[in-house]
Structure 1
């Protein structure tokens, strides 16, 4: 019951609504007075002059306009019926037609407009104008009512367009937010995956050699502590994208590949780096190449412990940049299918990153039973 009572309460008019409704009310009154004709010529036979009845109908029709926002179609049909007999309701009927066109579908508007032609026909046959031919009078009434409906349809479609534009803007904002979240997730995977794999490697060494000399244990514990601290620092930088533009965040470059390889070697990996790039690569190309090497070395540590790795970065402007990371099958177990299954999500994300840079990523088993990751990145000469 409370819901039904609440639903019956009309929506409060805003100051703008009051202004518009008052203006339409006054226009309806003025139009009805100016277009009325032949008043006082007929008597109802009850001692009441038709002119007074016409005035009462005009007042009733104009007052009825205050309900047009709640029931535009019903108000329009009532005013159409009154307009057949009373000319002073014509102005109110035009306002009602306009309201139907604004607030209802074009199909409903067409039905109401067709019904609104009845008063025009009645004026031609019941109250003909001696100064104006019947056809001209019919065309005039039809055009005036069509103008009111056309204006309402224009506003109706304009509002729909604005709603559609707002919806598209909201969708674009949601897509931008989604892309930002995907970028943050990708950065977190790349950064934390690299750091945590170093932690797992050193922790595994301590677990495997509990009787190791105290100096080795202390050194491994120090590396774990430093790697954990660096992982937290990297995480803060990545999450900073939620508060600052991406351009303000520190981003890795191609020159940082040396540091990446050095960290892997310090963790006990055997990594050989061949880097032949005669000049500094563009930011996007260098950053993407760094992420390729980072993800590939992380997968080697996770899925081929003890395997040696080879990192090659070659290229120059105008020819493109080629990044190749491969490991031989000399670790604890082969890396081919196992690495492909376990690291599929990381490699899939890496392929998306490379594609965004305009490049191509390929990965799969090598001829010697190891695993290869190869990225070809564009490097325009003008860059």
Structure 2
């Protein structure tokens, strides 16, 4: 939020003005007030009232260090200014007067400090939202663009291998490279739109969800020798919220990308999206039996990823996203078979 010139001036001088006024009030109180009766204390009362206004301004706008000095001196001045006017007061009466005249400082803290606190919280919320959006965009680029680029690399390698012997096969590979490149450009374009318009994602009907899982598997089958098969139970998509559907798509994208990277010779991939009680479950099973020898030779896993099946930062970040949605993501390995399982609560209409 941009501040006007008046607010800038007040911010710069509020704390100093409060400190200066407090010092003047204390000097006047103990230098002149002892000879003043209560009926003649109007100017002192007006000065104390003005000091409360300066306190509120310091609470609202002054930098912390200047605000602490100014408000502290002002609180002392407000507490002490009526003391010389009642020379015969007892200790308890003086303590009571001091406590009473400390209340305006608390009122100034509420009047000036509360809006400042709310503004600070709004600023923190804006920064947190921007940081969250940056993470979402980074995940989008990793999940979708990396998937398409890995397909481009696989097709380029295949085209180079068969170009001399079968030009027609190379031409088909080039067409698939073109489609993957266009898909990557579309993902980048979507990320740019999100940067320009934070509300674009909420209104963008083209964001991937459960309905695009079959298309994702079809594109995976075009870009390598490993074949994937998908089974989506009837009505399961209606049991997913839009956020959950997008998460399912992202997890599957990352899983298929890791299969292509770490198990290019795998026998096959089985994908299933099913309803389980009050949850929806996605399972991705990678039979890496044929790639085990290659895996041992290169020290890899031959599965969905490294370190227990969750490789790199992709699935690690998605694991946190799934947990935030009260779901679970875990992987298992059994005799050359890797399985990734995501369970999300069913929140949509299941009728």
Matched residues in 2 for 1:234 and 1:68: separation?
55
- Distance 1:362-1:225 versus aligned 2 partners, 3 A rule: same
Matched residues in 2 for 1:153 and 1:255: separation?
58
2:203 maps to 1:257: no
- Distance 1:319-1:310 versus aligned 2 partners, 3 A rule: farther
- Distance 1:77-1:312 versus aligned 2 partners, 3 A rule: same
The corresponding residue for 1:179 is: 132
- Distance 1:154-1:319 versus aligned 2 partners, 3 A rule: closer
- Distance 1:317-1:382 versus aligned 2 partners, 3 A rule: farther
Please state whether the residue corresponding to 1:162 is helix, strand or coil.
helix
- Distance 1:96-1:269 versus aligned 2 partners, 3 A rule: farther
TM-score by length of 2: 0.75
Q: Is the 8 A contact 1:312 1:325 kept in 2?
A: yes
Q: Is the 8 A contact 1:307 1:328 kept in 2?
A: yes
Q: Is the 8 A contact 1:83 1:89 kept in 2?
A: no
Q: How does 1:344-383 map to 2 (within 5 A)?
A: 344-364=312-332, 366-380=333-347, 383=350
The corresponding residue for 1:9 is: none
Matched residues in 1 for 2:151 and 2:120: separation?
46
The corresponding residue for 2:28 is: 79
- Residue 321 of structure 1: which of 280, 290, 298 is its match? 280
The corresponding residue for 1:117 is: 83
Please state whether the residue corresponding to 2:339 is helix, strand or coil.
strand
Matched residues in 1 for 2:26 and 2:323: separation?
62
- Residue 277 of structure 1: which of 221, 233, 238 is its match? 233
Gaps spanning 5+ residues in structure 2: where? 11-15, 59-69
Matched residues in 1 for 2:19 and 2:77: separation?
19
Aligned CA RMSD, in angstroms, stands at: 3.4
Higher radius of gyration, 1 or 2: 1
- Residue 200 of structure 2: which of 245, 254, 277 is its match? 245
Greater length-normalized contact order (CA 8 Å, ≥ 6 residues apart) = 2
Q: 1:307-363 CA distances to partner (integer Å, 9 max, x unpaired)?
A: 233223242374422211122222373352883159320110121232233211002
Matched residues in 2 for 1:362 and 1:247: separation?
29
- How many aligned residue pairs are there? 306
